[in-house]
């Protein structure tokens, strides 16, 4: 597509004719090659470890319950249930619709919790990936190799933005969902051991498929919401002569302290907390998934019940973020910082 048409005249050189290139695809693969450990293995291992821990907890629980078989039972959510000795199948048959609803909420909450670790790993990976993306190549001077190829600074930096906002979250989401289903299988196993029907007790009341859909649906929101952070970190990465981490952290933190100290936001009739929430947090914590939750419209949600978490995760709430000025102002600010990072990479002279 970028084939340069300037002729291979003369025919002296025994060299093939210009061939089409796939620059952006290759740039994305290059980021993946370099950061395979962070993008792929970190979430996969985090998910794997959480599954192993769950399995171990399950086994430990079994052992403890066997030991305590003489005891009368224990409390779960205020409902007295005696699992040991009692058939779980009996339990479901006696549950009212309201109980089922509560159970479903509890199942969904634990499904979400089980999928958390790959996502947490990704949060850190993306943060440090952005910090190093334009700094490491200057430090080891490999930027001179990248710049010896017909790749524009714009495409190069944008490939890093896409890696941070789309590739890494996509991989982490897949890892999180696999972990979630792994957890569901483990739980099903435990339930069946106790004579329960996993379909009735877990798969039916819980909504793993809806959660899957919502996870995937929220990736674009994540990408847009994280732009100010990604832009800020890339800018620090392109600008700092050393210690980009300190600069990236200190500048927003100290401006926050400065603002709080002198109550500068009062000029705009705002609290200092506004600055912390809308500036400092946005440039530092944007890579935390779901940090947009705060601005989402959650009007139909019963926030106290056990279904709160899963109800908050609905398409309406997720995409309501697209209607908030906070998102779009952040996108513009992020884009501006990315443009600045591109210019910085273009002209920065590495002694």
Partner 1 sequence: MNTVRDDSASAVISARGLRKAYKNKLALDGTTFEVPTGRIIGLIGPNGAGKTTALKAILGLIPFEGELRVLGRDPRTERDALMNDVCFIADVAVLPRWMRVREAIEFVAGVHPRFDRERCERFLHGTQLKPQMRVRELSKGMIVQLHLALVMAIDAKLLVLDEPTLGLDILYRKQFYQRLLEDYFDEQKTILVTTHQVEEIEHILTDVMFIRDGKIVLDAPMEDIGERYVEVLVNGDRVESARALRPVDERALPFGKTVMLFDGVPLPRLSELGETRTPGLADLFVATMKGTYA
Map residues 329-348 to x or -, x wherever contact with partner 1 holds by CB under 8 A.
-----------------xx-
Q: Return the residue matching tokens 């769950």.
A: 54
How many positions of this chain bind partner 1 (CB under 8 A)? 43
Q: Cα–Cα distance between 236 and 248 in angstroms, integer?
A: 6
Question: Quick one: which of 138, 147, 277, 297 contacts partner 1 (CB under 8 A)?
Answer: 147
Q: How far is the CB of 155 from partner 1 (least distance, A)?
A: 9
We find the least distance from the C-beta atom of residue 2 to partner 1, in angstroms, to be 6
Q: Considering beta carbons, is residue 80 or 139 the nearer one to partner 1?
A: 139
241: contact with partner 1 by CB under 8 A: no
Least distance (Å) between residue 230 CB and partner 1: 22
**Residue whose C-alpha is closest to residue 130's, from 164, 169, 154, 158:** 164
The pair of three-digit structure tokens given for residue 341, joined into one six-digit string: 């990072």
Q: Cα(78)–Cα(82) distance, rounded to whole angstroms?
A: 12
Residue 267 binds partner 1, judged by CB under 8 A: no
23-34 helix and 153-162 helix, angle to the nearest 10 degrees: 50
CA distances from 94 to 142, 213, 230 (A): 67, 31, 51
Among candidates 66, 104, 91, which has minimal Cα distance to 195?
A: 91
- Helical (H) or strand (E) element with 74: strand 74-76
Site string for partner 1, 124-143 (x = CB under 8 A): -------------x--xxxx
The site map against partner 1 for 18-47 (x = CB under 8 A) is xxxxxx-xxx-xx--xx-------------
Query: Which is closer to partner 1, CB of 62 or CB of 155?
Result: 155
As measured in angstroms, the least distance from the Cβ of 26 to partner 1 is: 4
* From 53, 144, 253, 257, residue interacting with partner 1 (rule: CB under 8 A): 144
CA atoms within 13 A on the CB side of 263: 3
Paired residues of 80 in beta bridges:
75
User: Where does this chain bind partner 1 (CB under 8 A)?
Assistant: 2-10, 12-16, 18-23, 25-27, 29-30, 33-34, 137, 140-145, 147-152, 346-347, 349
């Amino acid at each position: 597509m970028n084939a340069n048409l300037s002729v291979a005249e003369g025919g002296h050189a025994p060299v093939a004719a210009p061939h089409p290139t796939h620059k952006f695809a290759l740039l994305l693969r290059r980021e993946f090659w370099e950061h395979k450990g962070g993008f792929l293995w970190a979430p996969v291992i985090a998910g794997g470890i959480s599954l192993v821990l769950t399995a171990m907890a399950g086994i430990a629980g079994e052992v403890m319950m066997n030991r305590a078989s003489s005891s009368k039972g224990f409390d779960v959510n205020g409902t007295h249930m005696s699992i040991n000795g009692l058939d779980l199948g009996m339990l479901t048959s006696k549950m009212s619709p309201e109980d089922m609803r509560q159970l479903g909420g509890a199942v969904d909450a634990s499904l979400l919790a089980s999928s958390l670790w790959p996502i947490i790993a990704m949060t850190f990976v993306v943060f440090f990936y952005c910090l190093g993306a334009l700094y490491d190549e200057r430090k080891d001077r490999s930027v001179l190799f990248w710049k010896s190829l017909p790749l524009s600074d714009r495409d190069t930096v944008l490939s890093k933005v896409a890696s941070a906002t789309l590739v890494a979250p996509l991989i982490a989401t897949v890892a999180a969902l696999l972990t979630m289903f792994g957890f569901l299988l483990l739980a099903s196993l435990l339930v069946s051991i106790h004579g329960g029907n996993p379909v009735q007790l877990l798969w039916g009341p819980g909504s793993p498929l809806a959660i899957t859909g919502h996870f995937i649906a929220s990736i674009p929101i994540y990408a847009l919401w994280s732009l100010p952070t990604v832009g800020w970190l890339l800018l620090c990465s392109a600008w700092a002569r050393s210690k980009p981490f300190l600069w990236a952290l200190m500048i927003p933190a100290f401006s926050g302290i400065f603002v709080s100290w002198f109550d500068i936001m009062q000029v705009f009739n705002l609290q200092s907390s506004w600055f912390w929430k809308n500036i400092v947090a946005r440039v530092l914590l944007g890579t935390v998934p779901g940090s947009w939750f705060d601005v989402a419209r959650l009007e139909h949600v019963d926030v106290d019940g056990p279904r709160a978490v899963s109800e908050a995760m609905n398409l309406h709430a997720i995409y309501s973020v697209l209607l908030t000025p906070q998102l779009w102002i952040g996108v513009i600010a992020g884009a501006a910082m990315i443009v600045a990072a591109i210019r910085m990479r273009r002209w920065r002279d590495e002694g």
